[in-house]
Structure 1
Amino acid sequence: MLEGAATFRLQHKANRLRQRIEGHTRDEVLFQAVAEALGYKQNRLAFTLLAQRLPLSFLRKRQDDAEALLFGIAGFLDVLSSDVQRKSARSYLNSLWHRWWKHRAAFSRLILPGKLWKMSGVRPLNHPHRRLGALAALVTEWKRFATLTHAAEAAPVMRFVTGLRHSFWSCHYNLAVAGASSSRALIGSSRAADIVVNVIYPLAVNDDRDVWNDYKKLRAQVSSQAARIAAARLFADDPRQRKFTRSLMGQQGLLQIYEDFCLRDSSDCANCPFPEQLRSW
């Protein structure tokens, strides 16, 4: 049951990406999808718009200016340029401004409005400034990343993504606070797993790659409240419940069931059609 739901979910994601590839190149769709994943729930739209306004092909032709363009179009340079007092941040911002100012007039109409960004309630490691730094680092290493995504093996992709480093962002949370006491991963293991499941594997399915056996071996990196709710409703006190929520495949299957049934049922399971459908199978 869960495997079938997870298979459906994976195929649905593959179909969505295939539709996008029809209007773009595979690399552009990969870039946009990864940017969307780095935006998390709060800033998904902002990161998606940023990736659309600054296509990967455009950034790769301007490698030296790519990071400045990303931060400039995001609107982060205009807002913070006069407020940052810390020496390390000022030095970094000055380097970005040195490259951004020559593009600013031409791209001013593309700058994202500040109200689009959601800064409150975001963990320091997931701050949009830092996530944008991660995206910039990924653009720099794109050739290697793209090669790994074509192979569609989870472990090498996750090692690469979690191993990304940046001279400033590996040690800073955002542009307005002091640096961290030690270097931290730009992209953590949970977000790397999310990229594999929601981007890399669906693209591999479109490439007719068989990723299912690897998919079933992956463990969930973080707990999902929606998956826990679905598991509790489906399995009650069954001890297998924890097994399903700890497996990434099981978690994805539970999420699909939650979206298809739990979100549409206001009767607290009393009138849910899912049991009847199970009996008909």
Structure 2
Amino acid sequence: MNAGIQLFSDIYLKFTHWFSQVQVREDEPRIRVPEKTIRCIWNDQLFRTHELETTDGEQLEIVFPGYWTFGPGPDFKSAAIKVNGVLYEGDVEIHVYSSDWRAHNHSQNPEFGNVILHVFLWGERKKSPRRITAPSSPRLPGGHIFELEIKDYLTKGILELSEELDFDSYPVMNQFNFGRCHLPLARLPKEKLEQLLNAAGDARIFTKMERFHDRIIDRGYEQTFYEGVAEALGYPVNKQAFVTLAESLPLPTLRMMLPTKIAKKEKILHLQAMLFGMAGLMGFKHLDLSSLAPEDRTYFSRLARLWEKYRKRLPAPTLTDRDWKFGGIRPANFPYRRIAGLARLLLRHEAQGMFADFLKGFKAGIVMEENKRYATRIPRALYDFFCVEGADDYWGSHYSPGGKKLAAAQNLVGPDRSAAITINIVVPIALIYARACKSVEMEAALNLLYRSCKGKTDNKLLRFMKYYIFGNNAEMIRILSTEKQKQGLMQVYQDFCTQNENNCLRCQFPDVIHRYFT
């Protein structure tokens, strides 16, 4: 192989292979599930909430799950529940196993005195005294804390949920002081730290490949690619809703429904009507059209008529307006605008498909070294592949239905989101394709695409990691110059930080650093 070719490396995975998903204890084999997974499930209420019972068979209603907390004490504060119709307010503690309450000695810890509900994934096979107490809980019957085992209420299997959860978009744990890995990392030479981050960045792509591999076998490259792009457009809070939308309106259905002998400006209305309708976001058909500007009135009346036509031919929508979140995101990223952008991407690649068109542009666009078989430069256009201008679209100049018209049209999908789609969706799916085709040259070009991306990713998790394991050291932070290295840092968090519940006291990452990089 030519020395100039750089392929994706699995060296980081070899370092961490002993963090297997199955942990054997004395009494039974157990699936290893990080406690943060259960926190995320509780935070988003990813279980059937309308038929809950406590472990004592009492009817349970979740009025408010509480606020995610950091540091010592219960996991969620200021929650509200009803048990047999009686309202209780207090804190919620989350565990993987019911026995963890006693193992952590919470009954003797005054910080847990306001806990009203103990939520866990699994109860113990070996029966122990059922009811637990907090240091002071006079408001609860008999001073006992209510308990909920959520295993049988999950909407999906725990492993499937774990794969779908994006830990990067949730609050981070271990927020205080520096991690045990800070000093070992600070002592590493610059090139060793870069090697570690790059290797972890490759591992992050492999992790994403695992998510897509079975989908490709089941649904093909184009549908999987479409679902992945839709998911990325919903980042961070509407990812699952976008995936559900793409699943409920698959490409074969879209192609069958969409008229072929009409102008493109008409096709976009048909696509948007189907997408908004299946998304459960056609509520704007109840707008008082007479109060709208002529442009708005024409647009919404046409969408409503088209949806009435398509709804008779499509399955009943599984999404409603309640499945979409608008709080906590910039208006420019509201679901209306992202769905409109998805419609334009579908129309742009109507003939061959998004994945086929990307591969074609990728192969034509990469710059090859003279007389060599490997790429040396990636054109910016590949990172902008998913950009969608808003100049010719209603949603380019509006944030909400019938809202004030913006002074200037804004992109429906901008360059930063396009680059994020390239890294998180394109690279892993295209790498599966390259390896299936046994194309070393294509894999090398994808690696170059990945390591050349100067993305602007800057989320809460990254800011935490810069502080927690880099200690806000300017020299160390400067090393995070590429998207690949930032992705690597997030992979370290996923592999190590989320696996520990005791502020990294038992974390093996410092040992990995010492064993393999010093």
Please confirm whether the aligned pair reaches a TM-score higher than 0.5, indicating the same fold: yes
Going from structure 1 to structure 2, the CA distance change for 1:123 and 1:109 (only over 3 Å counts) comes to same
Within 5 A, what are the aligned runs for 1:51-62? 51-62=246-257
| 2:217 counterpart of 1:22 | yes
Percent identity (aligned): 27
1:108: how far off?
Answer: 6.0
CA contact (8 A) 2:201 2:484 kept: yes
| 2:470 counterpart of 1:235 | yes
Kindly provide the CA deviation profile for residues 6-27 of structure 1, in whole angstroms up to 9, marking residues without a partner as x. 1111112123212111011211
In the alignment, the residues of structure 2 paired with residue 56 and residue 91 of structure 1 have an alpha-carbon distance, to the nearest angstrom, of: 28
More off after superposition, 203-212 vs 267-276: 267-276
Kindly provide the CA deviation profile for residues 240-262 of structure 1, in whole angstroms up to 9, marking residues without a partner as x. 33224442011100000011112
Q: Which structure would you say has the larger RCO, counting Cα contacts within 8 Å and 6 or more residues apart? A: 1
| 2:317 counterpart of 1:82 | no
Going from structure 1 to structure 2, the CA distance change for 1:55 and 1:11 (only over 3 Å counts) comes to same
User: Which residue number corresponds to residue 187 of structure 1?
Assistant: 413
Q: Which runs of 5+ in 2 are unaligned?
A: 1-195, 259-266, 363-377, 435-441
CA contact (8 A) 2:341 2:388 kept: no
| 2:327 counterpart of 1:120 | yes
Kindly provide the CA deviation profile for residues 196-222 of structure 1, in whole angstroms up to 9, marking residues without a partner as x. 011111112112232112211211213
What letter matches 1:183 in structure 2? Answer: A
In the alignment, the residues of structure 2 paired with residue 83 and residue 213 of structure 1 have an alpha-carbon distance, to the nearest angstrom, of: 49
1:55: how far off?
Answer: 0.6
Within 5 A, what are the aligned runs for 1:82-121? 82-84=286-288, 85-87=291-293, 88-107=295-314, 109-121=316-328
User: Which residue number corresponds to residue 217 of structure 1?
Assistant: 452
Q: Which of 238, 251, 256 is 2:491 aligned to?
A: 256
CA contact (8 A) 2:466 2:472 kept: no
CA RMSD of aligned residues (A): 2.1
Which protein shows a greater Rg?
A: 2
CA contact (8 A) 2:281 2:320 kept: no
In the alignment, the residues of structure 2 paired with residue 168 and residue 157 of structure 1 have an alpha-carbon distance, to the nearest angstrom, of: 26
Kindly provide the CA deviation profile for residues 166-189 of structure 1, in whole angstroms up to 9, marking residues without a partner as x. 421221112141121101111122
CA contact (8 A) 2:279 2:319 kept: yes
User: Which residue number corresponds to residue 198 of structure 2?
Assistant: 3
CA contact (8 A) 1:145 1:157 kept: no
Query: Equivalent residue of 2:385, what SS?
Result: helix
In the alignment, the residues of structure 2 paired with residue 105 and residue 162 of structure 1 have an alpha-carbon distance, to the nearest angstrom, of: 33
In the alignment, the residues of structure 1 paired with residue 356 and residue 243 of structure 2 have an alpha-carbon distance, to the nearest angstrom, of: 22
The normalised TM-score by structure 2 is: 0.51
Within 5 A, what are the aligned runs for 1:102-181? 102-107=309-314, 109-142=316-349, 143=352, 145-150=354-359, 151-152=361-362, 155-165=380-390, 166-181=392-407
Return the structure number with greater helix share. Answer: 1
In the alignment, the residues of structure 2 paired with residue 267 and residue 235 of structure 1 have an alpha-carbon distance, to the nearest angstrom, of: 19
1:106: how far off?
Answer: 4.0
1:94: how far off?
Answer: 1.2
CA contact (8 A) 2:420 2:455 kept: no
In the alignment, the residues of structure 2 paired with residue 47 and residue 256 of structure 1 have an alpha-carbon distance, to the nearest angstrom, of: 24
In the alignment, the residues of structure 2 paired with residue 122 and residue 247 of structure 1 have an alpha-carbon distance, to the nearest angstrom, of: 25
What letter matches 2:223 in structure 1? Answer: E
Going from structure 1 to structure 2, the CA distance change for 1:147 and 1:108 (only over 3 Å counts) comes to closer
Query: Equivalent residue of 2:219, what SS?
Result: coil
Going from structure 1 to structure 2, the CA distance change for 1:117 and 1:47 (only over 3 Å counts) comes to same
In the alignment, the residues of structure 1 paired with residue 411 and residue 498 of structure 2 have an alpha-carbon distance, to the nearest angstrom, of: 35
User: Which residue number corresponds to residue 196 of structure 1?
Assistant: 422
Going from structure 1 to structure 2, the CA distance change for 1:76 and 1:235 (only over 3 Å counts) comes to closer
The normalised TM-score by structure 1 is: 0.91
1:53: how far off?
Answer: 0.6
In the alignment, the residues of structure 1 paired with residue 379 and residue 418 of structure 2 have an alpha-carbon distance, to the nearest angstrom, of: 9
Q: Which of 234, 244, 247 is 1:49 aligned to?
A: 244
Kindly provide the CA deviation profile for residues 120-166 of structure 1, in whole angstroms up to 9, marking residues without a partner as x. 22211000011110011111101474344214467323333224444
Going from structure 1 to structure 2, the CA distance change for 1:102 and 1:191 (only over 3 Å counts) comes to same
Return the structure number with greater strand share. Answer: 2
Going from structure 1 to structure 2, the CA distance change for 1:94 and 1:111 (only over 3 Å counts) comes to farther
In the alignment, the residues of structure 2 paired with residue 25 and residue 266 of structure 1 have an alpha-carbon distance, to the nearest angstrom, of: 39
CA contact (8 A) 1:215 1:249 kept: yes
In the alignment, the residues of structure 1 paired with residue 489 and residue 483 of structure 2 have an alpha-carbon distance, to the nearest angstrom, of: 10
Going from structure 1 to structure 2, the CA distance change for 1:107 and 1:61 (only over 3 Å counts) comes to closer
How many equivalent pairs are there?
A: 280
In the alignment, the residues of structure 1 paired with residue 481 and residue 219 of structure 2 have an alpha-carbon distance, to the nearest angstrom, of: 35
1:37: how far off?
Answer: 0.7
Going from structure 1 to structure 2, the CA distance change for 1:178 and 1:277 (only over 3 Å counts) comes to same
More off after superposition, 133-142 vs 9-18: 9-18
